């Protein structure tokens, strides 16, 4: 019997129908080039995006050392222009989404800037090499190099290296989770926390939710296979995949920073995100999990005015406030 997908929230279902081809399922390897062209067109439009939020931030691009033997890494650094408080500001280290094959350090940074304006924080958004031209470990090593530079230069940015929060959505959430593992295992700078929004965690693409959402909604099972195959090639789904590529493969989740995880009930990543949160608790870690009923992948970006989107934004900001207050 064919698996039946859970229902979409009615407001979100209407937005998805209105979006049409913009949110269609089924990205294939042959679609990547066209998706990038569409992304480039969107980037041209977003070039007009005010990264200063009306003068609240100063925004600058920085080129910093990349991994050994690899190209330099581009960071977008956005610092509040208001007079510095008595203590150094927290830093939101942002990793963009895009299924491992799309995007740049502008993608999704507006969300991090909104949080930073509320929290008086610095935003550093990292650009990483994309698959399939640059398979694992290139993306996570770029993200790691950017974080090491950020921690080492936090004071010059007006930031506090002890209060860095890793933030990422979709592929960026998976890379943020992988970064937390890599920092733990290499003894690198320790983030204060990690915020993983609908993170892309498991290359095996074989959970009940992955099967339920095949051909349904944005980033379905076909698209997920495309992204993971671009990153891992023939290794995808096999026995020798690194946890720094697919964090769900990690055997040990102890000793990681506190995590916020959220996911929609009607998206491919639901079951792997729920399982990851459960394993964090089982390892003695701190995690807050939200499963948004009827939410599809990226619902809050496609339908920002929907009630569920507003609830999700409130929960994320509240968690950031709490974790920064404790830090």
Where do we find the tokens 């909604």?
217
User: Does residue 107 carry a pLDDT above 60?
Assistant: yes
User: Does residue 84 carry a pLDDT above 70?
Assistant: yes
Residue 99: pLDDT band (50, 70, 90) is very high
Is 42:22 a contact under the CB 8 Å cutoff? no
- Cα dist from 51 to 46, 57, 79, 117, 156, whole Å: 10, 7, 10, 11, 20
- Tell me the average pLDDT across 25-52: 78
Residue-level pLDDT at 37? 86
Q: Which two tokens stand for residue 219?
A: 């980033």
User: Does residue 195 carry a pLDDT above 80?
Assistant: yes
Residue-level pLDDT at 86? 84
Is 287:277 a contact under the CB 8 Å cutoff? yes
How much is the mean pLDDT over the chain?
A: 95
Per DSSP, helices labelled H in the chain are: 10-19, 32-46, 109-119, 138-152, 171-186, 208-212, 221-232, 270-282, 299-302, 307-326
Residue 172: pLDDT band (50, 70, 90) is very high
Is 220:25 a contact under the CB 8 Å cutoff? yes
Residue-level pLDDT at 180? 98
Bridge partners (DSSP) listed for residue 73: 64
Rg of the chain over all Cα atoms, to the nearest angstrom = 18
User: Does residue 41 carry a pLDDT above 80?
Assistant: no
User: Does residue 321 carry a pLDDT above 70?
Assistant: yes
pLDDT digits (tens, 9 = 90+) for 223-273: 999 999 999 999 999 999 999 999 999 999 999 999 999 999 999 999 999
pLDDT digits (tens, 9 = 90+) for 6-18: 999 999 999 999 9
Is 317:118 a contact under the CB 8 Å cutoff? yes
- Tell me the average pLDDT across 45-58: 82
pTM score, whole prediction: 0.97
Q: Which two tokens stand for residue 295?
A: 């939410």
Residue 42: pLDDT band (50, 70, 90) is low
pLDDT digits (tens, 9 = 90+) for 148-163: 999 999 999 999 999 9
Ramachandran angles phi, psi of 169, nearest 5°: -120, 140
Is 151:164 a contact under the CB 8 Å cutoff? yes
Residue-level pLDDT at 21? 81
SS3 38: helix
Where do we find the tokens 């070039």?
47
Q: Out of 19-28, 42-51, 288-297, which region has the weakest mean confidence (pLDDT)?
A: 42-51
User: Does residue 139 carry a pLDDT above 60?
Assistant: yes
Q: Out of 48-52, 90-94, 218-222, which region has the weakest mean confidence (pLDDT)?
A: 48-52
User: Does residue 327 carry a pLDDT above 90?
Assistant: no
In the chain, % of residues over pLDDT 90 = 90
Torsion of CA 151, 155, 157, 158, to 10 degrees: 130
DSSP class of residue 161?
E
């Amino acid at each position: 019997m064919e698996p039946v997908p859970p229902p979409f929230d009615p407001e979100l279902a209407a937005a998805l129908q209105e979006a049409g081809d913009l949110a269609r399922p089924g990205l294939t390897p042959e679609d990547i080039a066209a998706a990038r062209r569409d992304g480039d067109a969107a980037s041209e439009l977003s070039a007009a995006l005010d990264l200063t939020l009306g003068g609240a931030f100063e925004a600058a691009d920085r080129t910093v050392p990349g991994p050994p033997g690899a190209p330099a890494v581009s960071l977008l650094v956005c610092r509040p222009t208001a007079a510095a408080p008595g203590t150094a500001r927290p830093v939101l280290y942002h990793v963009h989404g895009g299924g491992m094959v799309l995007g740049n350090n502008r993608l999704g940074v507006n969300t991090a800037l909104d949080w930073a304006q509320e929290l008086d924080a610095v935003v550093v958004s990292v650009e990483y090499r994309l698959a399939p031209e640059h398979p694992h470990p290139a993306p996570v090593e770029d993200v790691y190099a950017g974080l090491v530079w950020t921690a080492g230069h936090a004071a010059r940015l007006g930031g506090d290296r002890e209060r860095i929060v890793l933030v990422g959505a979709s592929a960026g959430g998976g890379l943020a989770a992988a970064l937390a593992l890599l920092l733990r295992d290499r003894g690198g700078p320790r983030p204060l926390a990690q915020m993983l929004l609908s993170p892309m965690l498991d290359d095996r693409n074989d959970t009940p939710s992955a099967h339920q959402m095949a051909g349904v909604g944005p980033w379905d099972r076909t698209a997920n296979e495309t992204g993971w195959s671009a990153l891992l090639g023939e290794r995808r789904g096999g026995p020798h995949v690194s946890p720094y590529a697919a964090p769900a493969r990690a055997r040990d989740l102890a000793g990681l920073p506190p995590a916020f995880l959220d996911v929609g009930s009607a998206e491919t990543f639901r079951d792997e995100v729920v399982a990851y949160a459960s394993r964090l608790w089982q390892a003695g870690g701190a995690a807050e999990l939200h499963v948004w009923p009827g939410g599809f992948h990226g619902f809050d970006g496609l339908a920002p005015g929907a009630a569920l989107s507003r609830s999700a934004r409130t929960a994320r900001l509240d968690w950031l406030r709490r974790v920064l207050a404790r830090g």
